[in-house]
Chains A and B, each alone.
Chain A
Amino acid sequence: MADPILNKLKHHWNVSNRREFFTQAGSGLAGIALAAMMAEDGYAAGVDPLAPKKPHVTPRAKNVIWCFMEGGPSQVDLFDPKPLLDKLALQPVPPSFHPETLLTAQGAKPSDGLFPARRPFKQYGQSGLWVSDWLPHIAQHVDDIAVIRSCQSDAVNHVGGVCQMNTGSILAGRPSLGAWLTYGLGSAQRNLPTFVVMQDDKEILGAVQNYGSGFLPATYQGTLFRQGDTPILNLKPPAGTTDEQQRSKIELLQKLNELYGRDKLDDTELDARTRSYELAYQMQSSAPEAVDLSKESEATKKLYGMDERETAVYGANCLMARRLVERGVRFVEVYSGSGSGWDAHQDVNNNHTKWCKASDKPVAGLLADLKARGMLENTLVVWGGEFGRTPFAQISAGQTPEKYGRDHNPWGFTMWMAGGGVKGGQTIGTTDEIGLRAVEEPHHVWDIHASILYLLGLDHLKTTYMHNGRAERPTVTGGNLIQKLWA
């Protein structure tokens, strides 16, 4: 007789027999639900959705810290100098750049005129990479940084853009990259979430859809950390609760749930809920310790800019990111300008002055600190927003040029990576002469994702999950490796 449970699960798991299922179940939530059955079958050990899994290729990195500049930093003002903008300042985008095909989010018109970089550029380091003086601290690390100047996204607007940069799709509902990574690799620790998100200002546009698990089991979704000593809401047990008391309560709950679930073994969700109490319990002690910066030296705090008002918030988040990675958290996303801070439709000068200041020293501090601790080689640091900004101005009525802004630019923008096996001191790809479109080696978001997965040891084509009859993968329908990153 066919195995009913297996058949129910077959819909989600591409397996042909029960044994194979159990092997695969080690990577999924369904596994826990079957713990009891497996014990009967002699498979007692090792059923854990977060059990470390064998990578497909030799990993170069173990962890990722993604410094997400939300709202869209301007590539032509930061990493991609375009002298032509100065020559053609405030002149319409020349026809050779096909401005007629552009559709801007807030209606900035290419005919309103090209807008030169707001800050002078200089070359830095051995490699001589160009960085504007808006980011003087990051500039000191260019020899560890690979700048990708030819990134592309499908999104014109933020909600779709942030969503695609996180999930590969501009429509909500797919698993985030962090979820795929934890699904594919498991986790080296059980005391903290495997995927943590931190914001410095408002709620990330689209909120949970950007760190959700989509159709992957919920266990892989990201956890939003809040500021302060209680990074997770309700982390602290009610005052006076003893550890023994709390353990005993959870034990009771598990027994009650076990009785309830005894005749409902097919329902994996019930057991997942029971199990989530274990993780919750462990988090109670591990999470406050992980975010407790009091043990960090003053020098370290200073390195991250925590001693200055403007950089204190993002600096603390970056330092926390390091501590989390140190404790085995696989994927940390640290938002700068969460809630679209970098969205400089008006007065790019003022906007970028603020957000560059808030993030430059913290990011540089993170790179320096990781390097000093020997962690940079295992930790991939990614920098970038959901898209870049137009090289032409966005003008509101009555504005003088110093107040001009820039609209969204998904057609060619800059991201960079450092550490985690990335070859620093190089630029990859180019945009056209005005920094509008990627021309050489264009790299879609999917390429970025595929390459990050690869650096962590996963082949994006093999990282699949059966959903609605399709073996879904992180890169949807695309993804080419950016070989230059590590070659």
Chain B
Amino acid sequence: MRHVTRHVMAALVGLALTAGIVYTAETDAFTPAQRSFWAFQAVKKSPVPAVKNQQWVKTAIDSFVLAKLEEAGLQPNPPADRLTLLRRATIDMTGLPPTQEEIQQFLSDKSPNAWEKVVDRLLASPAYGERWARHWLDVARYADSNGFKADETRPNIWRYRDYVIDAFNTDKPYDRFIKEQIAGDELYPGDPDALVAMGFNRHWIDETNAAALFTRRQETLDDMTTATGEAFLGLTFGCARCHNHKFDPILQKDYYRLQAFFANTSFGDGPLPLKDPAQRKKYDGQKAVWEEKTKDIRTEMNKILEPLRAAKLESGAHTFEEEVKTAISMDPAKRDPFQAMMYHTAEPRVTFDEEPDARTLRGLKGDNGKRYAELKKQLAEFDSLRPAKLPEGQFMIDIGPNAPATHVLRGGNFDMKGDEVQPGFLSILDPTDAKVTALPNSTGRRSALAAWLTDPKNPLVARVMVNRIWHYNFGKGIVATPGDFGRMGSRPTHPELLDYLSANFVESGWSIKKLQRQILLSNTYQQSADLQPKAAEEDPDNKLLSHWPRRRLEAEAVRDSMLFTSGLLNTKMGGPGVFPPVPAGTISDLSATAAAGGWKSEKDPAQNNRRSVYIFVRRNLRYPMLQEFDSANTFESCDFRKNTVTPSQSLDLLNNDLILQWAQSLAGRVLNDSGLTPDAQIDRAFKLTYGRAPSAEEQKIAADFLARQIPIMTQRLAADAKAKPPMPTNMPAGMDPARAAALVDLSQMLLDSNEFLYIN
């Protein structure tokens, strides 16, 4: 994980001195080196290179990879065996291991396109979207809460997560995916999905009770600018907040030019339009009838609330800056765009909804309170006429057609305004102002940004996404720093390949699945993970890809694979985040989280076994098992995850009650499948976890282990209730209990072992 702080100057200066790099101060001139830097050159589709070992080439990818290997005098590895390959691709594509049936089917399929069939099956699986959405959610800094001390829940942001899952599953063209996330509201009005997609820039961390509204607003803009620059352009835009980027041709002006696209955006949380126009019409009609019939009642209710509204306005406004107070109290029609923005930002703190909560209503005293309660009852009599509530979403939109001015801010400081700038792109690519056409209710600015980002001539966008896909397939990108295509990032190991794939990507209609397919069908992907001595010597980092890079499952895949293997995984898709149990002691040390609603427990235990992508992402309390295994930091875009080995991971695997429960379930599966022969049980346990039968050596190790555990379990079974060992779930009759309990231990250790935890 690379972290871009907002104040990087000093460290970068230090690095610059170290590296002997000379940079120019505040100037708009780019050096020839910057102008010729690879990432800013147009994508150039090179011809597929000729190779000696033509036999090895299955897709064009192989020619590019093999050409480099041959040049270095290295050989690619032979393909991995079929089981290894199936397990690798199944986990890579779906985040889950293959089933026994899938293994049998592939191992026995002698047709020449057996592998192709597997690949197409995996890409069509709904689990594919759940797996790959998680990668994009890392990049999008997705979270279900605000962050900061209060860390309030964002109750409807989960629709964005579901949108991303659906986008991957339906292979939404990447250009459309970008357009919807940057300007879905402007480009596809009335489309609820496009509005939900606007959640991409609703993930800013937010201190909703901050007194300093100017700063809070600026932080939000900085978040959007940095995240957009990093996610789509693969550049560390954040470095240019305070000064020209020290290494890359990103002027400070460019940072604010990019920011200007978002100058009039704010939260637009609220009801989502119905997709079907007929339904929408029906809803509007119903609503009009209900409103007409209840008009008098509601008018009177509102009148009663007036003093409360006035009080809320006064008490809510008093903490703000003078300018904000003015914006709040002035005639709405006279607010300039900046005042309108300040009012909009302050609004939730100075107003309340038409139907206020119980706490607000406690402010109604005496007759007013009584009368209000009566009216409420009367209103309820019309409930049958009222249309069902629309689903609600959380997203970002423009608050009107006229944006406040955007200035270059000296030192990134809101109070230190420099020159005013207009929306624009990277000056090195296009120094002119963006051509923007305002819409009736929106500035139209983001439409222009979306168009630029999805212009096939943009040198960065396709490359960055192709590289991300490659990164998640191989554990390392062609550019090893997926979020930094700049000078301090890595250079592409295979620039021609990156360009070839990027050009293809655009030509194919920005299809991620087609790109995936091309990668999976390549021999490069199918190589074994063995390390050849010569390759170890000459290419220790495997930059040339002479072998498959073995790696540990990511956090979510660890948990999901265990649940799946235990037969417990609940494959229900979508909906609000879930709260599976956390280890004892997790909550107590985070007082703030408790205040924000903490970690509720699920009423339906099946919810605990949902896929990890559906676990509620609370910024101040990342789900411990996932955090332990290096899940993404949710405070900023995460372009790649760390890979750590810690004793706390081992404690989790050994002692976490949940994993023990999963082992009980797995042992139950084993017993119910295999009957009562000890050898058959061991055989089954290995097949369920590793997808293969145990070797004679493994069979013996497991049998010895069971023999050792049985007397221990016998003792525990004879002891008092508290010491009774956990037994297999749904244990069949006739099973020796001590042996059954020992099988739980065996099952757990198989789940914890390296063969289960690594993709080979």
Binding site for B on A (CB under 8 A): 1-2, 4-5, 7-11, 29, 103-104, 106-107, 109, 154-157, 159-160, 163-164, 169-173, 193, 199, 201-203, 206-207, 209, 212-213, 218-219, 221, 223, 226-228, 230, 232-240, 242, 244-246, 248-253, 255-257, 259-261, 263-264, 266-267, 269-270, 272-274, 276-277, 279-281, 283-284, 339, 346, 396-398, 476-478
Task: For residue A275, give the distance in angstroms from its CB to the closest CB of chain B.
Answer: 9
Task: For residue A131, give the distance in angstroms from its CB to the closest CB of chain B.
Answer: 30
The proximity string for B residues 1-13 relative to A, scoring 1 for CB distances below 8 Å and 0 otherwise, is 1111111111100
**Looking across the interface, which residue of chain B has its beta carbon closest to that of A192?**
B647
Q: Which residue in B321, B647, B708, B753 is a CB contact (below 8 Å) of A397? A: B321
User: With the chains together, A90 CA to B583 CA distance in Å?
Assistant: 51
CB of A245 within 8 A of CB of B3, answer no
CB of B753 within 8 A of CB of A260, answer yes
Stretch of B44-52, B122-130, B296-304, B721-729 that contacts chain A = B721-729
CB of B624 within 8 A of CB of A227, answer no
Task: For residue A358, give the distance in angstroms from its CB to the closest CB of chain B.
Answer: 14
Given contacts A203-B590, A226-B589, contact A396 B753 (CB under 8 A): no
Q: A10 to chain B: which residues have CB within 8 Å?
A: 540
Q: B649 to chain A: which residues have CB within 8 Å?
A: 273, 276
Q: B713 to chain A: which residues have CB within 8 Å?
A: 245
CB of A106 within 8 A of CB of B215, answer yes
User: With the chains together, A26 CA to B625 CA distance in Å?
Assistant: 31
Task: For residue B493, give the distance in angstroms from its CB to the closest CB of chain A.
Answer: 15
CB of B536 within 8 A of CB of A230, answer no
26 examples of A-B residue contacts, CB within 8 angstroms: A4-B534, A8-B540, A154-B10, A164-B11, A169-B11, A171-B3, A172-B2, A173-B1, A173-B3, A203-B620, A213-B644, A219-B645, A221-B646, A223-B648, A234-B652, A234-B655, A240-B719, A249-B745, A249-B749, A256-B749, A261-B754, A269-B552, A273-B650, A276-B647, A281-B654, A397-B319
Stretch of B371-379, B396-404, B407-415 that contacts chain A = B407-415
Task: For residue B722, give the distance in angstroms from its CB to the closest CB of chain A.
Answer: 6
CB of A245 within 8 A of CB of B654, answer no
User: With the chains together, A173 CA to B639 CA distance in Å?
Assistant: 14
B73 at interface, CB cutoff 8 A:
no
CB of B537 within 8 A of CB of A233, answer no
Q: Which residue in B149, B585, B748 is a CB contact (below 8 Å) of A228? A: B585
CB of A476 within 8 A of CB of B646, answer no
CB of B17 within 8 A of CB of A202, answer no
User: With the chains together, A213 CA to B647 CA distance in Å?
Assistant: 14
Q: Which residue in B541, B654, B712 is a CB contact (below 8 Å) of A244? A: B712
Q: A9 to chain B: which residues have CB within 8 Å?
A: 540
B718 at interface, CB cutoff 8 A:
no
Q: A170 to chain B: which residues have CB within 8 Å?
A: 5, 7-8, 10-11
CB of A7 within 8 A of CB of B651, answer no
**Looking across the interface, which residue of chain A has its beta carbon closest to that of B752?**
A253
B40 at interface, CB cutoff 8 A:
no
CB of B712 within 8 A of CB of A228, answer no
CB of A253 within 8 A of CB of B660, answer no
B276 at interface, CB cutoff 8 A:
no
CB of A4 within 8 A of CB of B536, answer yes
B478 at interface, CB cutoff 8 A:
no
CB of B415 within 8 A of CB of A270, answer no
User: With the chains together, A223 CA to B705 CA distance in Å?
Assistant: 32
B54 at interface, CB cutoff 8 A:
no
Top 3 nearest A-B pairs (CB, nearest first) are A154-B10, A172-B3, A280-B650
Q: Which of B317-375 contact A (CB under 8 A)?
A: 318-322, 325
Q: Which of B1-31 contact A (CB under 8 A)?
A: 1-11, 14, 17-18
Q: B2 to chain A: which residues have CB within 8 Å?
A: 171-173
Q: Which residue in B10, B723, B750 is a CB contact (below 8 Å) of A240? A: B723
CB of A252 within 8 A of CB of B651, answer no
CB of A226 within 8 A of CB of B531, answer no
**Looking across the interface, which residue of chain B has its beta carbon closest to that of A2?**
B537
User: With the chains together, A233 CA to B657 CA distance in Å?
Assistant: 11
CB of B750 within 8 A of CB of A396, answer no
Q: A109 to chain B: which residues have CB within 8 Å?
A: 415
Task: For residue A356, give the distance in angstroms from its CB to the closest CB of chain B.
Answer: 20
**Looking across the interface, which residue of chain B has its beta carbon closest to that of A105?**
B7
CB of A160 within 8 A of CB of B5, answer yes
CB of A202 within 8 A of CB of B648, answer no
B758 at interface, CB cutoff 8 A:
yes
B592 at interface, CB cutoff 8 A:
yes
Task: For residue A474, give the distance in angstroms from its CB to the closest CB of chain B.
Answer: 14
User: With the chains together, A149 CA to B252 CA distance in Å?
Assistant: 35
Binding site for A on B (CB under 8 A): 1-11, 14, 17-18, 149, 211-212, 215, 242, 318-322, 325, 411, 413-415, 529-534, 536-538, 540-541, 550, 552, 583-586, 588-592, 620, 624, 628, 633, 642-652, 654-657, 660, 695, 697-698, 701-702, 705, 708-709, 712-713, 715-716, 719, 722-726, 745-746, 748-750, 752-755, 757-758
User: With the chains together, A154 CA to B10 CA distance in Å?
Assistant: 6
Q: A219 to chain B: which residues have CB within 8 Å?
A: 645
Task: For residue B526, give the distance in angstroms from its CB to the closest CB of chain A.
Answer: 19
Q: B716 to chain A: which residues have CB within 8 Å?
A: 240, 242, 245
Given contacts A8-B540, A234-B583, contact A273 B754 (CB under 8 A): yes
CB of B754 within 8 A of CB of A233, answer no
**Looking across the interface, which residue of chain B has its beta carbon closest to that of A159?**
B5
18 further contact pairs, Cβ within 8 A, besides A227-B589, A269-B552, A284-B651? A8-B531, A160-B5, A160-B8, A171-B11, A172-B2, A173-B1, A212-B644, A233-B648, A237-B654, A240-B716, A240-B723, A240-B725, A248-B712, A259-B695, A396-B321, A397-B211, A476-B14, A477-B14
Task: For residue B488, give the distance in angstroms from its CB to the closest CB of chain A.
Answer: 10
User: With the chains together, A283 CA to B647 CA distance in Å?
Assistant: 9
Task: For residue A448, give the distance in angstroms from its CB to the closest CB of chain B.
Answer: 16
Q: B532 to chain A: which residues have CB within 8 Å?
A: 4
Task: For residue B588, give the distance in angstroms from its CB to the closest CB of chain A.
Answer: 7
Q: A477 to chain B: which residues have CB within 8 Å?
A: 14, 17-18
**Looking across the interface, which residue of chain B has its beta carbon closest to that of A266?**
B531
Task: For residue B246, give the distance in angstroms from its CB to the closest CB of chain A.
Answer: 12
User: With the chains together, A234 CA to B7 CA distance in Å?
Assistant: 37
Q: Which residue in A8, A160, A339 is a CB contact (below 8 Å) of B536? A: A8
Q: B748 to chain A: which residues have CB within 8 Å?
A: 249
Task: For residue A163, give the distance in angstroms from its CB to the closest CB of chain B.
Answer: 8
CB of B537 within 8 A of CB of A257, answer no
Task: For residue B83, give the distance in angstroms from its CB to the closest CB of chain A.
Answer: 14
CB of A233 within 8 A of CB of B586, answer yes
Q: B536 to chain A: which residues have CB within 8 Å?
A: 4-5, 7-8, 266
User: With the chains together, A239 CA to B719 CA distance in Å?
Assistant: 13
User: With the chains together, A170 CA to B149 CA distance in Å?
Assistant: 22
CB of B753 within 8 A of CB of A233, answer no
Q: B318 to chain A: which residues have CB within 8 Å?
A: 398
Given contacts A235-B655, A259-B697, A276-B646, contact A11 B540 (CB under 8 A): yes
Q: A397 to chain B: which residues have CB within 8 Å?
A: 211, 319-322, 325
Q: A156 to chain B: which residues have CB within 8 Å?
A: 7
CB of B749 within 8 A of CB of A253, answer yes
User: With the chains together, A260 CA to B583 CA distance in Å?
Assistant: 30
Task: For residue B422, give the distance in angstroms from its CB to the closest CB of chain A.
Answer: 25
Q: B415 to chain A: which residues have CB within 8 Å?
A: 107, 109
Given contacts A8-B540, A160-B5, A233-B585, contact A202 B745 (CB under 8 A): no
User: With the chains together, A333 CA to B644 CA distance in Å?
Assistant: 21
**Looking across the interface, which residue of chain B has its beta carbon closest to that of A11?**
B540
User: With the chains together, A199 CA to B321 CA distance in Å?
Assistant: 34
Q: Which residue in A172, A238, A259, A281 is a CB contact (below 8 Å) of B698? A: A259
CB of A106 within 8 A of CB of B657, answer no
Task: For residue A168, give the distance in angstroms from its CB to the closest CB of chain B.
Answer: 9
Task: For residue B266, give the distance in angstroms from its CB to the closest CB of chain A.
Answer: 21
Task: For residue A117, give the distance in angstroms from its CB to the closest CB of chain B.
Answer: 25
Given contacts A232-B648, A253-B753, A267-B550, contact A238 B655 (CB under 8 A): yes
CB of A396 within 8 A of CB of B149, answer no
Give the interface centre of A233, A235, A242 by most chain B CB atoms within 10 Å: A233
Give the interface centre of B318, B415, B533, B657 by most chain A CB atoms within 10 Å: B533
